[in-house]
Amino acid sequence: MPYKKLPYGPGPAAYPRLQSEMLQEKLIRLVARRVYDLERQRILPLKDPEVEMFTAREISLIDSWIRFFLNKTAKEVSRYSHGKAWKLANEGDQIPYEAVHIE
């Protein structure tokens, strides 16, 4: 899925459409929570994931990224996702996958 530059970091280009579809199909729900003086939306799944659609290698890769980010703060994750490719792109521009190699 192509990614693009969003105001707070890179994100799937089709994110708004996908979120809307998942809400309509009752696969997720949005919950508003206060975080200090801000309100933040959390996406909660309403259905167990269909993991059989992934290979063991794909699941292992996802698990390794979860472990990598597990104890990171939001600021650390943000720094990680706001690399040179994100900085060079204009808002709304698609970010090529190959750009991950830009240092």
* Domain boundaries along the sequence of the chain: 3-101
pLDDT value of residue 103 = 66
pLDDT value of residue 78 = 83
Neighbours of 5 (CB within 10 A): 20
Residues of the chain with pLDDT under 70: 101, 103
pLDDT value of residue 54 = 93
Phi then psi dihedrals of residue 39, to 5 deg: -105, 130
70 class by beta-carbon count within 10 Å (0-12 exposed, 13-18 middle, 19+ buried): exposed
pLDDT value of residue 85 = 80
| Beta carbons of 77 and 70 less than 8 angstroms apart | no
pTM beyond 0.75: the answer is no
